[in-house]
Structure 1
Amino acid sequence: MTQWSLFKLAVIFLTRVPIKLTASVTDADINQSSRYFACVGVCIGLVMVLLLWALSLVLPMSVAILFTIGASLLLTGAFHEDGFADVWDGFGGGWSQQQKLDIMKDSRLGTYGSVALLILMLSKFHLMLALSSNLSALLWGVVLAQSLSRLNATSLIGKLPYVQLDTQSKVKPVAKSLQLSCRTALYLTGIAVLAAACVYSVLTLWQVIALIVTLWLTRLVCQYWFKTQLGGYTGDCLGAAQQISELMIYIFLVVSLI
């Protein structure tokens, strides 16, 4: 596939945007498209920022933020949020590895997942509302959170064994690689450098470095958590890592700027 086709494939994988590919898609293509996951996050963030700015012109900021979060869920199909809830259901309700995997594959939402998802969404709303006192920080922060959180989650691929037994798992073609290719790693690093450069007008150099360290520690915690609970990771774990990373970015920005 061409790089443009791989980018479109990444958009199809992570969102509900109706894009069609004329070429046949292989597991290898899906795996290679992971290099653009962070770039898709930038696009999602820009859509959210434009919508938030437009809504804030006619609605109270709290309502504009709430509607923007809702629109982002429609845009992505709550893909990562679903994984986040499944992880909490599985880790909270299962004892053995197999029990946890079975619970995570269940389409029904349990108590652990419901409570965790409620806390997650309320936290995002209030953190974004707190950031709204500095509109520039909020707008840049949304783009940064959507891009770097996906980069952080993607970087976990290959760091742990893939343990999902379901051959129909949507993320299996992405996760089955033993490690990210050098080219994919370079693409992801480039997105990170670009995002850091763009937000440099809001954060100081030391704050940018502190944010990178925060994301690195978040990645280590997620990696340890998945290893102790499952001995590896699943697609739901990657979704949970993305949501946790996104939340940590908002927390960092509120602590640093407000």
Structure 2
Amino acid sequence: MSLAFVTRQWRMFRMACQFFTRIPVGNISHFQASELNKATRYFSLVGLLVGTILFAFYLMFSLFLPVNVAIVLIMIVGTLLTGAFHEDGLADMADGMGGGFTVEAKLAIMKDSRLGTYGAITLFLALMLKFTLLTQIADTAFMAFALLFAHGFSRGIAASLIISTPYVSEEKGSKSKPLAQQQGLLDCLIVLVVGVLPLILLPETLANLGFIMTMFGVLWLFRVLFRQWLTLRLGGFTGDCLGACQQIAELFIYLIIVAFTMGGNT
């Protein structure tokens, strides 16, 4: 493995961090938007970094604060880390899908910076559900796995849509335009494999075949149906749709963990 190869991979990881988070990564010299297309392979790794930071803050806050307060605080930290990047996509997609009757109208609404009723309601319910689920999971034995897997693999699912779904927004100023080129199979494989690495943190009480099959079965079905829905409604994906995919997949992961831990498997 040459130094040039390692340097290039490090550069792509920094690009992914810079695109998806507010984490300082230093100046990236001679940056070209087209390079971000290859950086998709590190989206899950960015998620693992965010999940690790959130877990560290959770451990710190839970030492001297009630669990529900600690959960709210790490949700705030997460928003500051990512700049609400994915939440913004979820709200914009909800506004577009709810308020537009044609593909052109849906895309135009998604590009509107104003928050509409559909977006506000969707975002509120998603955040409320996330808080409720994380409060239920709030056992340090489960929180490490939940936060890292949810943040890592959900980004992998979102990134995997790029390989098999056309990009439909032609807006020149689109922040996700560099991602519009279809990804290679290797990039898709890397982002998914990295996303499942937190399975090594899986507590023994959840480390059973039923849980793992349910988790990946539900997430696979969600990806298939979500892609099909996007294709029918828009003809493809936009950057907002990828953000929405990440948020919904993250919620599904928390839901499945809660369903198994509350169902007598703890």
User: How high is the TM-score relative to the length of structure 2?
Assistant: 0.92
Tell me, yes or no, if the aligned pair for 2:41 and 2:190 is still in contact at 8 Å.
yes
1:162 equivalenced with 2:167 (yes/no): yes
Give the counterpart of 2:194 among 191, 211, 218: 191
CA displacement at 1:197 relative to structure 2: 3.1
CA displacement at 1:135 relative to structure 2: 2.8
Distance in structure 2 (CA, Å) of the matches to 1:136 and 1:189: 24
Give the counterpart of 2:238 among 234, 248, 254: 234
Which ranges in structure 1 are unaligned for 5 or more consecutive residues? none
Give SS of 1:19's match.
Answer: coil
Give the counterpart of 1:53 among 59, 64, 75: 59
Give SS of 2:220's match.
Answer: helix
Distance in structure 1 (CA, Å) of the matches to 2:172 and 2:61: 42
Distance in structure 1 (CA, Å) of the matches to 2:54 and 2:209: 26
Distance in structure 1 (CA, Å) of the matches to 2:55 and 2:118: 31
Tell me, yes or no, if the aligned pair for 2:163 and 2:188 is still in contact at 8 Å.
no
Aligned residues: CA RMSD: 1.4
Query: Deviation digits for residues 53-79 of structure 1, max 9, x if unmatched?
Result: 110001000000001001100100000
Q: Which runs of 4+ in 1 moved over 3 A?
A: none
Distance in structure 2 (CA, Å) of the matches to 1:163 and 1:52: 39
Task: Decide which moves more: 219-228 or 191-200.
Answer: 191-200
Distance in structure 2 (CA, Å) of the matches to 1:49 and 1:171: 28
Q: How does 1:166-177 map to 2 (within 5 A)?
A: 166-174=171-179, 176-177=180-181
User: Percent sequence identity over matched residues?
Assistant: 38
Tell me, yes or no, if the aligned pair for 2:159 and 2:188 is still in contact at 8 Å.
no
Match of 2:131 in 1: 125
Tell me, yes or no, if the aligned pair for 2:91 and 2:123 is still in contact at 8 Å.
yes
Tell me, yes or no, if the aligned pair for 2:41 and 2:191 is still in contact at 8 Å.
yes
Distance in structure 2 (CA, Å) of the matches to 1:151 and 1:49: 20
Give SS of 1:157's match.
Answer: helix
Distance in structure 2 (CA, Å) of the matches to 1:186 and 1:65: 32
Q: How does 1:49-198 map to 2 (within 5 A)?
A: 49-132=55-138, 134-174=139-179, 176-178=180-182, 180-198=183-201
Q: Which amino acid aligns with 2:65?
A: L
CA displacement at 1:200 relative to structure 2: 5.8
Distance in structure 1 (CA, Å) of the matches to 2:163 and 2:94: 22
CA displacement at 1:36 relative to structure 2: 0.2
Distance in structure 1 (CA, Å) of the matches to 2:195 and 2:178: 24
Match of 2:4 in 1: none
Which ranges in structure 2 are unaligned for 5 or more consecutive residues? 1-6
CA displacement at 1:38 relative to structure 2: 0.2
